Amino acid sequence: MPASRKKKRDIEKIYARKAFIAKLRRLADALEHGRTFRIQVAGKRIAVPRDAVVGMEHEREGGAEEIELQVKWRSGRRSGSRRRPA
């Protein structure tokens, strides 16, 4: 399916602290070493290109606060990502 015709998807997944930390470490390692980051979220495999833009968002509303770590890229484009040898 072309990138422009992909269905909208908005999934929020809560992880156990240990699993979340492991995923953050894998993401940080991939970013640090210029590699594509691969992860599966709610049954869908996702490849984050090495040149994705990273950021952070802080929200405060009604006595609750939230920090969102953001990793953004355009879907359907070649990023020149390198595959690690098997």
The full DSSP string for 29-42 is HHHHTT--EEEEET
Q: Who wins on pLDDT, 85 or 23?
A: 23
Examine the pLDDT at 9 and tell me if it is beyond 90: no
38 Cβ neighbours under 8 A, 6+ residues apart: 45, 46, 47, 48
Element (H, E) at 26: helix 17-32
Strands of the chain, DSSP E: 37-41, 44-48, 53-61, 64-72
When pLDDT is cut at 50, 70 and 90, the band that residue 66 belongs to is very high
What does pTM read for this prediction? 0.72
